[in-house]
Amino acid sequence: MKNSTIYCIAIPSPLGKIFATATADVVTGLYFEGQKYFPATLPPLTESNAILKKLQKEIDDYFAGKRNSFSAELQPHGTPFQQHVWQALQGIPRGKTLTYSEIAAQLGLPTATRAVAGAIGRNPISIVIPCHRVIGKDGSLTGYAGGVERKAALLRLEQDNLLF
């Protein structure tokens, strides 16, 4: 990380305000207002820097159904285990879902479903690291820090706007 200054902006979305944080080089956070595990303190809102301007445009395009992926470099803060889980989430394509147990098995940890679910719930970069694409074994929309209603809306958006 070249510059340790953290920039913070609020991005309006159809699902409520989203707070984005970044350095000059990498995105460090993307949180729905009021979500579980929302940071206790965010930096003060700042003028957008280049990486946040690009992220905001990509988030706008995502909600407009014009984007399947994001290009910003990410640096979520977490334990090595959490980082491993979050990396796996980035392999779930738009419009697809996996279960928590499938993610655990994919990571070679078939008995660690609860630990994997806990790491998924702590994902600090919502939408871009698509934790909303992980569902319960029975197909239920369980455990989304941004709220189950938002999870359902994101999955509907992705199903309705597949660009393939």
CA separation for the pair 14, 26 (Å, rounded): 25
DSSP annotation of 8? E
Write out the catalytic residue numbers: 131
Phi, psi of 128 (to 5 degrees): -65, -45
By DSSP bridging, strand 7-11 and strand 27-32 are unpaired
Whose CA is closest to 55, among 93, 99, 18? 18
Measured over the CA atoms of residue 29, residue 122, residue 126 and residue 19, the dihedral's sign is negative
- Distance from the Cα of residue 71 to its chain's centroid: 13
